[in-house]
Amino acid sequence: MLEQVERKKRAIALSPERQKEAYYSSIKFANKRMPLQNPNVETKFEKYLANFSFRKQQSYDLHKKAAKHLPKIASILKSYGIPEDFKYIPLIESDMNPSITSHKGAGGYWQFMPATARLYGLKVGGGVDERKDLVKSTHAAARYLKSLYAQFSDWTLVAAAYNVGGGSLKATIRRQGTDDYYKLRLNRETGSYVYKLVSVKQVIENPNKHGYKRYAKLDDKFQNINEQNLL
């Protein structure tokens, strides 16, 4: 009888529903849990997560770029006290291509506008563009992120402000009467920004789960959580 009970418990623990529950409870941005119990948040997250899966990408480029650049970026951000999850911004902003320039003039790894780049210590002009220097631009980005945190005191809002601008986000918060990123009505790009960052984080940290078999490891972060919580 006891053996049957244990088998039943194990079957429940390994069910797809419980696997999903365990996985979703582990998903955080800057050490803050994503509110995936909210159906709207869950639906939106799953949409972007699917976009970054191997099935959709059919390429290992994302993981190759992450392996090459993210350790250096993470180390610099850590020296400023910036949460490690912000290392994924250059993957979202420029796909780690420093030569990309937006139609508005943002450029480099972190897609700085020229004026913002200069404000945070980068040389732009006269044949020099330090936005294309990974180390220098990451130091500038860290200083900028730190200044945004001084304004918002919330890392999720910092990510949104990095995309839309601090002044614009403050005006939206004031107008709508909430500072909850997941409740704010934002433009499409800013409203999807944190979802994209978290989705990239998940496929990089859990390659096996999202189809990147070549990068699969026994120490996938979710696999560890899954075994500890359910097995």
Q: Secondary structure of 61-126 in the HEC alphabet?
A: HHHHHHHHHHHHHHHHHHHCCCCHHHHHHHHHHCCCCCCCECCCCCECCCCECHHHHHHCCCCEEC
Residue whose C-alpha is closest to residue 146's, from 72, 71, 89, 81? 81
Q: What is the pLDDT of residue 230?
A: 31
Q: What is the pLDDT of residue 32?
A: 96
Q: What is the pLDDT of residue 82?
A: 98
Q: What is the CATH code of the structural domain delimited by 2-230?
A: 1.10.530.10
Contact call for residues 116 and 144 (beta carbons, < 8 A): yes
Q: What angle do CA 68, 72, 78 make, to 5 degrees?
A: 145
Nearest to 117 by CA among 150, 169, 101: 101
What pLDDT does 27 receive? 94
CA-based nearest residue to 230, from 11, 58, 46, 47: 11
**150/135 Cα distance (integer angstroms):** 23
Instruction: Record the tokens describing residue 34, joined without a space.
Output: 């994503």
Give the helix/strand (H/E) hosting 203: helix 188-205
Helix 221-230 with 16-25: angle, nearest 10 deg: 120
Domain chopping of the chain, boundaries: 2-230
> What's this model's pTM, rounded to 2 decimal places?
0.87
| Bridging pattern class, strands 32-33 and 128-129 | unpaired
The pLDDT of residue 55: 85
The one-digit pLDDT tens for each residue of the chain (231 residues) are 566 555 555 545 567 777 788 888 889 999 999 999 999 999 999 999 999 988 888 788 998 999 999 999 999 999 999 999 999 999 999 999 999 999 999 999 999 999 999 999 999 999 999 999 999 999 999 999 999 999 999 999 999 999 999 999 999 999 999 999 999 999 999 999 999 999 999 999 888 888 887 766 655 655 544 433 332
Model pLDDT, residue 14: 64
What's the number of CA atoms in the CB half-sphere (13 Å) around residue 172? 21
